[in-house]
């Protein structure tokens, strides 16, 4: 710390702690010590306080010991001449600042419940979202885990102009970083500047406006703390591991834009505790020696054109920016962009015109690598707000290519087009939907570029499994329809093949240790009939990933001797997980919730739990924030099963897995399912009904309760009895 | 060397007082050193007076080594080695007997038999209990402390096995000690064995003699001294950064000046409390003084400076000069480095010299014996003596203006905290900045004053040269005071004296480029700090791998030889100035200066020129940097997801 910075940090921390004490006292006088407080929908209380100090703040009164701790660790001001050492004390002041800010923000949630939208996006009259709830944490967490989001930038203040703000934001997006925004400068804020420049902000575009005050910066620290607790399996209160976890694994940094106040400095010291460096655009003192952060701590006076590149370098982050030769931005951060009515130049599919996407393998001499053809009208031949039929067909060839890889490549089309700034894509196969914005049309984007980007991006990620790739785009209705007919035949063939695959007939399963960047002791093993619990990887994906990168995170696991066919335990798998979990887990069962179920990293799509009274199980998906009959919300459940633990009575799984034949078959399978959130039921209804029919109970779907029936076991049991749910007649699940 | 015409001091306050002494007709060590030349044969370690057949002067004359023998037949090698390890024994005995005194008081305090003493650092007590396998459970601090005290005390008289603190050293170092057969069995036993082996007609192989010297010295650094430091911290509190002042200017004209001198803080801790007693303060006022001003000389002073910020009047060679000011109402002394001339000089003024230790009595001094069971009364009697002597001050008073601010109180524990705060405490920033080259290495500069060289000059020249070359300096003892007087222990000194890299780290942490770690038994803190550096990783797996070096440029006491020997035995390159006590034997000197490296990874060196000595240290540091592969700038590593997956979980 430089003396100037340390002095400012300590002054700022005193101000913020003082403010927290004042706000807290006012709230105590008004509401009393027993008034519940907290951030919305989270199982982590006030997460920095919980993660670092291990204190659960549930009521106003619980804040008192935290404020006392703040006072205790707040150092005296730095003396001008012959000062005592200040680095350690200033870092402590930074932590006290974060604790105090969580208290300030929690009191605000109490005093002004509508201050924040509490949604994923701003509303028409409110820019600020407030703290990320656990649904967002888990949904976005998987991106941190698998590397699609390498970290985040906490932006404070505002850029000198909205154009500069847009440039910085776009550059951060292109590097797939999240942007957490708080505080203002010069009467505006970074978030406000982006909105004025018509940039879509909110979680879907990774440009997250947390709050207008500096205290909202603590939401970024809260997000980081929860990553350590939920994915890293760090125990609350184990502050050292929480902080080192973030230093090593969460590649975040702070970008203060504009005059750095004492309060900003205090927050910066808090960030440095997490190993997050500060890169400023103003000429504040620098702290170049390393130690708390991986490299420099504070770097300053960086021109806006270089600030993102500098920040990434200072944080020690290697970002791979796909060099995609198209006249617009490209990156995961653009995936959540929406293109509203009136904004699009061209629309295809979406029920308005026929549309299809189809990848097929060819002989080597039939494919000319890099060739892109648009057969029919190009976008430039049309007036704005036109609609076109569209067939995106991709032909690949290669010595290593297998037919099984076609659907894997085909599935990439959706997100690759969506990664394109100014393009919106939804669906797949013959239910696709594409919008191309006027803005990106003006930049020169044409349909032709879809071919260019697919060629470049697929080569980059999947180059090992094919040698050549060409793209043909059809925009004439009869041609498109012809392609749809051909593709449908292929789809049917593929589906039959996948559906026909069984665990029994497969000798090799695949591991997935993608999450070990975040959950070091967790290991998934994926079989054809038990897809990955995060919903992102099935057996075929893993196989292909292994072919692409034989030393990567997906490794073949020889099934070996079948130790228990009913519960699904295999000798080869046990040996593998013992090694891969670094000795923490020596066995688990694939098909059971009651007997040594599979472990979870914390990024599962759903968590199932036993309901003893109903003699069945329930499952809940992460988007459902309400209560469930097992007495826990999703986020609490995920906390229970997360962090690489095997917890009987609970198991994490993917949505797709629910209707797979082996789903908890060791405990009775889908017939045990007594409760699901309505939205999840709807989402998988067709496959659910098919599977239930196969099990001999065609109307099982209607006998499963949801939140409209009740959210306690007592509340749903009579419904189950009335519907004669088959679970009630099965042997006791607790046996 | 003795003929060398030397300037007496670089410290203006000291020079002024020497002039006043001359005016007042007072003789000081500076004068005596000028009058008496060094005995060349004794200085070279060639005089054997261990039996009544001698003394024998056995010079290893080049070409005639074979012929040169003592009456018993002892060679120049044997005699030089014997004399050398007897110095080790003397030094180790002094430190360890100090440690024993602390352990005895600690035990008495734990048993409630030493009123006025209590456990100040509970955390350190519990840590030591864990380390030594003392049951904690529901037991009170007192009960735990009784066990700790008994174990500590037993370490001195232990006859077999190994002393306990060896297990604190890096594993590789422990193995090395066992391999070389130098792991001490007990603290006292190895000292006694030196006395036995050096008796007429016992050990007559210099290799074997020097090895025993190593063993006894380890028993000092990792035994007696470390016990003293640890138990003093538990009893009196572990030092934390505090502002202090140094030099004769801290004496006050209008207050009762009580100067504390010696090495054991046992009594002085109580004196610090008593001096603030309102009853004593009002007594002082009744006697016409504005208050009671405590200050210190030597290591007792360092101890109360580190823990209470009590100012330092000066280092070893300033003890007489403090009296020459005419403003010292009483000087209370305990043990070690106390000049017998003090009562004589005191007679020229009004000062009362008060001895307190039954082990250290001086004719002409008032003796008020320290009794741990009644420390408070003793301390009150001492303070009262000083107060009552205030009206006896004469008119011949001249207090130098010089006094310098300093930031002190760097213990192994506080360094850990200072580098990362409560939540990220570690040695990582130190190691990181050594690896990246901002800090070139770390040097321990310690030791005494010696009037055979210019007072304070060798310390300060060496320290300035080191920090200019980006070497972080850690200090103890009188050496620390020399640097402090020059202002090197202020944070501002970094920008003024240190190289750019070191200065940037100092600015980051807010520390001076020269850190004061305490008294001479606190050299054990340096061992702990070095071990912490090894354990934090990235700088090898033994102390001998670290880019560090040690020095005692103005040494004079046997304690310095023992300290140097345990540093060498712990793997540190250690250079001494002024004089070297084995020059009478080329063989022995070569063994210490060269062969030791293969066995211990550390070696001795001798270089009276402090700048040259600093560069010997720097070359050694560079050699270690090269061996570690950190001699060249490293490319910044950027992490992708795959690299993050390969990280071990924390």
Q: What domains can you pick out in chain B, each with its CATH number?
A: 76-236 (1.20.1270.30), 248-392 (3.40.50.2030), 408-628 (3.40.50.2030)
Residues A51, A224: Cα–Cα separation, whole Å: 10
Q: Does the beta carbon of A711 lie under 8 angstroms from any beta carbon of chain B?
A: no
Handedness of CA A476, A477, A482, A484 (dihedral sign): positive
Peptide bond before residue B55 is cis, with ω within 30 degrees of 0 = yes
How far apart are the C-alpha atoms of A232 and A237, rounded to whole Å? Answer: 14
Q: Which residues in chain A (38-67) have CB-CB distances under 8 A to chain B?
A: 52
Cα dihedral sign, B142-B144-B147-B153: negative
Q: β-strands A207-211, A178-182: how paired?
A: parallel
- Is residue B597 predicted with pLDDT exceeding 80? yes
Q: What is the pLDDT of residues A328-375, one digit of tens each?
A: 988 888 887 888 889 999 999 988 899 999 999 998 889 998 999 999
Q: Exposed e or buried b for every residue in A441-474, given b needs 16+ CB within 10 A?
A: beeebbbbbbbbbbbbbbbeebeebbbbbbbbbb
A147 vs B648: CB contact, 8 Å cut-off? no
Q: Give the max Cα distance, chain B.
A: 80
Q: How far is CA A708 from CA A151, A626, A675, A717, in A?
A: 39, 11, 10, 13
Contact B504 A288 (CB under 8 A): yes
Between chain A and chain B, the number of residue pairs with CB atoms below 8 A apart is 150
**B509/A513 touch (CB, cutoff 8 Å), yes or no:** no
Residue at A734 is within a domain = no
Does residue B423 contact residue A243 with C-beta atoms inside 8 Å?
yes
pTM of the model: 0.84
- Residue pair A42/A106 in contact (Cβ under 8 Å)? The answer is no
A292 touches chain B (CB under 8 A): yes
- Determine the Cα–Cα distance for residues B419 and A415; give it in Å rounded to an integer: 45
* A143 or A91: which leads in pLDDT: A91
A458 and A523 part of one domain: no
Size of chain B, expressed as the number of residues it contains: 650
Question: Residues B279-301: pLDDT tens digits?
Answer: 999 999 999 999 999 999 999 99
List the one residue out of A172, A204, A215, A165 whose CA is nearest residue A186. A165
Q: Which two three-digit tokens encode residue A220?
A: 């970024």
Which of A465, A498, A531 finishes a domain?
A: A498
Residue B76, pLDDT score: 93
Rounded to whole angstroms, the Cα distance separating B64 from B70 reads 14
Find the range with the poorest average confidence among A73-87, A191-205, B58-72, B131-145: B58-72
Cβ–Cβ gap B422/A92 under 8 Å: yes
Return the pLDDT at A404.
80
Say whether both A88 and A218 belong to one domain.
Answer: yes
Q: In the structure encoding, which two tokens stand for residue A131, read together? A: 């703290």
**Which of A146-155, A564-573, A726-735 shows the highest mean pLDDT?**
A564-573
Percentage helix, strand, coil for chain A under 3-state DSSP, each rounded to 5:
40, 15, 40
User: CA A502, A507, A512 angle in degrees (round to 5)?
Assistant: 85
Q: What is the rounded average pLDDT of the residues A679-701? A: 93
- The C-alpha angle with vertex B295 and arms to B293 and B298, in degrees rounded to 5, equals 170
Answer left, alpha or beta for residue B370, where phi above 0 means left and psi between -120 and 50 means alpha.
beta
pLDDT reading at A644 higher than 70: no
Rounded Cα distance, B304 and B310, in Å? 6
Distance to chain B for A2, nearest Cα, Å? 5
Q: Which residue of B has its CA nearest to A513?
A: B645
Decide which of A468, A498, A528 is a domain's last residue: A498
- Domain check: are A494 and A512 in the same one? no
Same domain? For A356 and A489 the reply is yes
Among A291, A521, A553, beta carbon nearest to B649: A521
Residues A51/A225, Cβ–Cβ less than 8 Å:
yes
Q: What is the DSSP string of B571-630?
A: T-EEEE-S--TTTT-HHHHHIIIIIHHHHHS--EEE-SSHHHHHHHHHHHHHHHHHHHT-
Measured in whole angstroms, the distance separating CA B484 from the mean position of its chain's CA atoms is 15
Find chain A residues with C-beta within 8 A of B440's C-beta. none
Does the predicted interface ipTM exceed a cut of 0.95? Answer: no
Q: Is the pLDDT of residue B1 over 50?
A: no
Does the residue A323 lie in any domain? Answer: no
SS (H, E, C) A13-44: HHHHHHHHHHHHHHHHHHHCCCCECCCCCCCC
Of A84 and A324, the one with more pLDDT: A84
d(CA A333, CA A634): 26
Separation CA A660–CA A691 (nearest Å)? 8
Report the half-sphere exposure of A723 (CA within 13 A, side-chain side). Answer: 20
Strand, helix or coil at A93? helix
Average pLDDT over residues B412-429: 93
* Residue among A187, A297, A58, A458 at smallest CA distance from B504: A297
Whole-number CA gyration radius for chain B: 24
Residue B420 with chain A: CB contacts under 8 Å? 87-88, 91, 291-292
Averaged pLDDT for residues A321-325? 75
For residue A460, the SS3 value is helix
Whether A195 maps to a domain, the answer reads yes
Domain boundary among A498, A525, A549: A498
- Residue A306: its pLDDT value, please? 94
Kindly report, residue by residue over A712-724, the tens digit of the pLDDT. 999 999 999 999 9
In this structure, of A504-518, A615-629, A657-671, B71-85, the range with the lowest mean pLDDT score is A504-518
Rounded mean pLDDT, B601-624: 97
A297, A432: one domain: no
Residues, chain A: 735
CB of A602 closer than 8 Å to CB of A638:
yes
User: Is A225 touching B (CB cutoff 8 A)?
Assistant: no
- Relative to beta strand B404-408, strand B242-246 is antiparallel
Going by the DSSP 8-state scheme, the letter that residue A275 receives in this structure is T
Is A445 domain-assigned? yes
Mutation pick from A4, A72, A77, A84 vs chain B, by most beta carbons of B within 10 Å, is A84
On whether the CB atoms of residues A159 and A193 are closer than 8 A, the answer is yes
CA distances B497 to A364, B247, B294, B455, B461, Å, are 71, 21, 31, 21, 11
- The Cα of A285 is separated from the nearest Cα of chain B by a number of Å equal to 10
Cα-to-chain-centroid distance, residue A261? 32
Check whether residue A267 and residue A300 sit in a common domain. Answer: yes
- Pull the structure tokens for residue B7: 């300037």
pLDDT on residue B618: 97
CATH code for the domain of A356: 3.30.1650.10
State the nearest Cα–Cα gap between A405 and chain B, in angstroms: 23
Strands A606-611 and A616-621: antiparallel
Provide the percentage of residues in chain B whose pLDDT is more than 70: 98
In a domain, A63, yes or no: yes
**Contact check, Cβ <8 Å, B510/A313:** no
Which residue range(s) make up the domain with A397?
Answer: 332-498
Task: Determine which of A419-428, A632-641, B580-589 has the lowest per-residue pLDDT on average.
Answer: A632-641
For residue range B463-501, what is the model confidence (pLDDT) as tens digits?
999 999 999 999 999 999 999 999 999 999 999 999 999
Mutate to test the interface with A, among B309, B408, B415, B420 (most CBs of A within 10 A): B420
In a domain, A503, yes or no: no
CB B192 within 8 A of CB B215: no
Q: What is the pLDDT of residue B471?
A: 97
Look at residue A25 and tell me if it is in a domain. Answer: yes
Closest CA to A71 of A95, A107, A106, A38: A95
Q: How far is B237 from chain A (nearest CA, A)?
A: 18
Least confident of A139-148, A507-516, B399-408: A139-148
The residue-averaged pLDDT of A464-475 equals: 91
**Residues B277, B349 contacting (CB under 8 angstroms):** no
Contacts of A248 in chain B (CB under 8 A): 644, 647, 650
Residue B2 binned pLDDT confidence (cut-offs 50, 70, 90): very low
Pairwise CA distance, residues B492 & B494, whole Å: 5
The residues, ordered by sequence, that sit 6+ positions from B391 with a Cβ below 8 Å of its Cβ are B287, B288
Cβ distance B430 to A291 less than 8 Å, yes or no, reads yes
Q: Which helix (H) or strand (E) holds B299?
A: helix B298-308
Which residue is it, tokens 């980051």? Answer: B508
What pLDDT does residue A634 have?
87
Q: Cβ(B291)–Cβ(B283) under 8 Å?
A: no
Q: Which residue has the higher pLDDT, A46 or A577?
A: A46
Phi-psi region of A275 (alpha: psi -120 to 50; beta: other; left: phi over 0): left
Indicate if A97 and A203 belong to the same structural domain: yes
Residues of A in contact with B504 (CB under 8 A): 288-289
Residue A729 C-alpha from the chain's centroid: 40
Residue A74, both tokens:
């707040």
Nearest CA in chain A to B493: A82
Closest of B617, B287, B609, B284 to residue B441, by C-alpha: B617
A223 plus A129 within the same structural domain? yes
Would the pLDDT of B4 be above 50?
no
Count of domains forming chain A? 3
B594-625: b (≥16 Cβ within 10 Å) or e: eebeebbbbbbbbbbebeebbbbbbebbbebb
- Average pLDDT, integer, range A513-534: 78
How far B118 CA lies from chain A's nearest CA (Å)? 24
Kind plus residue range of the DSSP H or E element containing A278: strand A278-279
Same domain, residue pair A549 and A408: no
Please indicate whether, in this complex, the C-beta atoms of B405 and A6 are within 8 angstroms of each other. Answer: no
The pLDDT of B445-467, averaged and rounded, is 97
Confidence tier at A610 by pLDDT (50, 70, 90): very high
Contact B422/A270 with Cβ under 8 angstroms?
Answer: no
Which CATH number does the domain housing residue A649 bear? 3.40.1470.10
> In this complex, do B424 and A292 lie within 8 Å of one another by their Cβ atoms?
yes
Residues A179 and A293 placed together within one structural domain of the fold: yes
The pLDDT-based confidence of A537 (bands split at 50, 70, 90) is: confident
Residues in B touching A292 (Cβ below 8 Å): 420, 424, 428-429
Phi, psi of B552 (to 5 degrees): -135, 85
Q: Which structure tokens are listed for B535?
A: 């354990």
Q: What is the pLDDT of residues A263-284, one digit of tens each?
A: 999 999 999 999 999 999 999 9
A349 shares its domain with A450: yes
pLDDT of residue B646: 73
Q: Considering only CB atoms, which chain A residues are within 8 Å of B505?
A: 289
Taking an 8 Å cut-off on Cβ atoms, the answer to whether B423 and A150 are in contact is no
Q: Which tokens go with B608?
A: 């009276």
In a 13 Å sphere around the CA of B391, the CA atoms on its Cβ side amount to: 8
Same domain, A73 and A13: yes
Residue A243 within any structural domain of the chain: yes
With a cut of 50, say whether residue B185 has pLDDT above it.
yes
Tokens of A612: 């003893």
What's the CA gap between A679 and A683, in Å, rounded? 6
Contact B382, B258 (CB under 8 A): yes
Examine the pLDDT at A535 and tell me if it is beyond 80.
no
Are B647 and A249 an interchain contact pair (Cβ–Cβ within 8 Å)?
yes
Task: Report the distance separating Cα A421 and Cα A414, nearest Å.
Answer: 13
Facing residue for A290 by CB, picked from B432, B491, B639? B432
Q: Which residues pair with B605 in a beta bridge?
A: B575
Q: What is the CATH number of the domain that holds A141?
A: 3.40.50.2030
Find the CB nearest B510 among A83, A146, A517.
A83
């Amino acid at each position: 710390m430089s003396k100037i910075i340390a002095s400012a940090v300590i002054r700022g921390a005193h101000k913020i702690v003082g403010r927290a004490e004042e706000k807290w006292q006012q709230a105590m006088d008004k509401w009393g010590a027993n008034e519940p407080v907290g951030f919305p929908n989270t199982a982590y209380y006030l997460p920095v306080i919980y993660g670092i100090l291990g204190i659960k703040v549930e009521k106003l009164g619980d804040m008192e010991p935290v404020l006392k701790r703040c006072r205790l660790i707040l150092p005296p001001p730095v003396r001008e001449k012959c000062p005592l050492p200040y680095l350690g004390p200033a870092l402590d002041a930074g932590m006290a600042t974060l604790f105090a800010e969580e208290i300030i923000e929690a009191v605000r949630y109490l005093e002004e419940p509508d201050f924040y939208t509490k949604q994923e996006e701003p509303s028409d009259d409110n820019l600020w979202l407030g703290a990320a709830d656990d649904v967002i944490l888990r949904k976005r967490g998987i991106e941190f885990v698998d590397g699609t989001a390498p970290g985040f930038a906490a932006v404070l203040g505002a850029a000198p102009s909205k154009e500069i703000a847009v440039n910085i934001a776009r550059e951060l997006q292109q590097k797939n970083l999240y942007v957490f925004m708080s505080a203002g400068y010069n009467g505006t804020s970074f978030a406000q500047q982006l909105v004025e420049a018509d940039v879509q902000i909110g979680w879907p575009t990774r440009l997250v406006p947390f709050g207008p005050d500096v205290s909202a910066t603590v939401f970024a620290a809260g997000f980081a703390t929860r990553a350590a607790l939920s994915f890293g399996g760090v125990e609350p209160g184990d502050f050292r591991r929480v902080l080192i976890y973030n230093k090593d694994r969460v590649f975040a940094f702070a970008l203060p834009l504009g005059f750095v106040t004492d309060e900003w400095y205090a927050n910066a010291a808090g960030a440095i505790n997490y190993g997050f460096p500060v890169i400023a655009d103003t000429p504040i003192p620098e702290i170049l020696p390393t130690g708390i952060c991986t490299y420099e701590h504070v770097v300053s006076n960086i021109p806006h054109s270089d600030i993102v590149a500098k920040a990434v370098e200072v944080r020690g982050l290697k970002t791979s920016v796909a060099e995609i030769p198209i006249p617009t931005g490209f990156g995961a951060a653009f995936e959540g962009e929406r293109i509203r009515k009136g904004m699009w130049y061209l629309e295809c599919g979406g029920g308005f015109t026929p549309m299809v996407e189809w990848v097929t393998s060819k002989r080597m001499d039939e494919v000319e690598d890099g060739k892109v053809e648009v057969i029919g009208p190009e976008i430039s031949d049309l007036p704005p707000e036109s609609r076109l039929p569209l067939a995106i067909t991709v032909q690949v060839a290669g010595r290593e290519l297998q037919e099984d890889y076609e659907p894997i490549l085909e599935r990439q089309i959706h997100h690759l087009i969506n990664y394109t700034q100014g393009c919106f894509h939804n669906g797949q196969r013959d239910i696709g939907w594409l919008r191309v914005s006027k803005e990106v049309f003006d930049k020169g984007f044409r349909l032709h570029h879809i071919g260019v980007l697919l060629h470049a991006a697929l080569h980059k990620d999947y180059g090992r499994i094919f040698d050549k790739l060409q793209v043909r785009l059809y925009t004439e209705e009869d041609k498109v329809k012809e392609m749809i007919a051909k593709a449908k035949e292929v789809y049917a063939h593929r589906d039959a093949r996948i559906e026909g695959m069984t665990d029994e007939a497969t000798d090799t399963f695949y591991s997935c240790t993608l999450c070990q960047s975040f959950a070091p002791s967790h290991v998934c093993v994926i079989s054809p009939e038990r897809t990955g619990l995060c919903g992102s990887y099935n057996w075929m994906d893993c196989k292909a990933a292994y072919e692409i990168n034989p030393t990567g995170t997906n490794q073949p696991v020889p099934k070996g001797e079948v130790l228990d066919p009913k519960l699904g335990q295999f000798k080869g798998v046990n040996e593998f997980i013992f090694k891969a979990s670094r000795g923490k887990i020596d066995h688990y069962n694939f098909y059971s919730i009651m007997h040594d179920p599979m472990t979870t990293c914390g990024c599962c799509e759903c968590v199932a739990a036993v309901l003893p009274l109903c003699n069945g199980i329930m499952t809940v998906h992460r988007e459902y924030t309400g209560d469930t009959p097992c007495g826990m919300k999703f986020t609490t459940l995920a906390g229970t099963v997360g962090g690489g633990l095997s917890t009987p009575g609970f198991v994490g799984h993917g949505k797709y897995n629910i209707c797979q034949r082996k789903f908890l078959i060791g405990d009775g399978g889908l017939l045990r399912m007594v409760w699901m959130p309505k939205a999840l039921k709807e989402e998988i209804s067709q496959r659910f009904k098919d599977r239930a029919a196969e099990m001999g109970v065609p109307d099982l779907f209607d006998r499963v309760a949801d939140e409209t029936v009740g959210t306690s076991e007592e509340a749903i049991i009579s419904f189950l009895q009335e519907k004669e749910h088959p679970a009630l007649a099965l042997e006791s699940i607790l046996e | 060397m003795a003929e060398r015409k030397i300037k007496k001091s670089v410290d203006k306050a000291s020079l002024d007082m020497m002039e006043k002494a001359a005016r007042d007709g007072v003789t000081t060590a500076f004068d005596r050193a000028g009058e008496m030349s060094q005995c060349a044969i004794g200085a070279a370690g060639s005089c054997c007076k261990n039996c009544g057949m001698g003394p024998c002067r056995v010079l290893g004359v080049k070409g005639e080594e074979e012929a040169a023998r003592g009456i018993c037949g002892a060679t120049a090698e044997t005699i030089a080695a014997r004399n050398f390890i007897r110095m080790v024994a003397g030094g180790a005995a002094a430190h360890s007997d100090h440690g024993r005194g602390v352990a005895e008081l600690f035990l008495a305090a734990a048993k409630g038999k030493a009123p006025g003493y209590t456990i100040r650092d509970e955390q350190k007590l519990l840590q030591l209990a864990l380390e030594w396998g003392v049951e904690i459970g529901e037991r009170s601090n007192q009960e735990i402390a009784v066990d700790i005290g008994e174990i500590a005390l037993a370490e001195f008289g232990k006859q077999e096995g190994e002393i306990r603190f060896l297990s604190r050293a890096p594993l590789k170092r422990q193995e090395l000690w066992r391999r070389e057969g130098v792991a001490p069995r007990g603290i006292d036993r190895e000292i006694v064995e030196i006395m036995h082996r050096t008796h007429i007609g016992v050990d007559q192989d210099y290799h074997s003699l020097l090895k025993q010297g190593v063993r006894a010295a380890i028993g000092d650094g990792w035994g007696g001294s470390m016990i003293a430091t640890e138990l003093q911290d538990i009893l009196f509190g572990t030092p934390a950064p505090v502002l202090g002042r140094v030099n004769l200017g801290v004496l006050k004209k209008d207050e009762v000046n009580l100067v504390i001198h010696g090495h054991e803080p046992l009594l002085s801790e109580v004196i610090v409390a008593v001096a603030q007693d309102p009853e004593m303060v009002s007594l002082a006022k009744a006697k016409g003084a504005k208050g009671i001003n405590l200050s210190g000389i030597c290591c007792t002073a360092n101890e109360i400076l580190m823990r209470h910020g009590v100012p330092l009047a000066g280092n070893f060679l300033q003890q007489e000069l403090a009296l020459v000011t005419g403003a010292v109402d009483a000087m209370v002394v305990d043990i070690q480095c106390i000049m017998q001339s003090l009562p004589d000089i005191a007679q020229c003024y009004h000062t009362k010299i008060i001895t307190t230790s039954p082990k250290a009595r001086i004719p002409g001094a008032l003796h008020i014996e320290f009794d741990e069971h009644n420390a408070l009364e003793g301390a009150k009697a001492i303070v009262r003596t000083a107060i009552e002597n205030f009206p006896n001050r004469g008119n011949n008073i001249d207090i130098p203006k010089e006094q310098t601010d300093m930031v002190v109180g760097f213990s192994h524990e506080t360094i850990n905290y200072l580098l990362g705060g409560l939540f990220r405490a570690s040695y990582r920033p130190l190691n990181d900045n050594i690896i990246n080259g901002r800090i070139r290495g770390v040097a321990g500069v310690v030791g005494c004053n010696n009037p055979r060289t210019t007072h304070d000059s060798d310390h300060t020249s060496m320290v300035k040269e080191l920090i200019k070359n980006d070497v972080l300096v850690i200090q103890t003892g009188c050496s620390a005071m020399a640097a402090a007087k020059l202002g090197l222990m202020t944070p501002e000194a970094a920008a003024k004296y240190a190289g750019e890299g070191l200065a940037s780290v100092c600015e980051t942490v807010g520390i001076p480029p020269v850190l004061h770690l305490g008294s001479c038994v606190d050299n054990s803190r340096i061992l702990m700090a070095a071990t912490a550096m090894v354990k934090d990783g990235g700088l090898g797996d033994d102390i001998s791998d670290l880019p560090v070096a040690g020095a005692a440029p103005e040494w004079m006491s046997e304690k310095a030889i023992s300290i140097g020997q345990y540093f060498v035995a712990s793997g540190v390159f250690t250079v001494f100035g002024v004089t070297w006590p084995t020059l009478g034997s080329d063989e022995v000197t070569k063994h210490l200066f060269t062969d030791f490296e293969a066995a211990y990874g550390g070696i001795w060196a001798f270089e009276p020129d402090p700048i040259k000595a600093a560069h010997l240290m720097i070359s050694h540091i560079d050699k270690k940097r090269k061996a570690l592969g950190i001699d060249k700038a490293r490319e910044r590593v950027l992490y992708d997801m795959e690299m993050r997956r390969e990280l071990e979980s924390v």
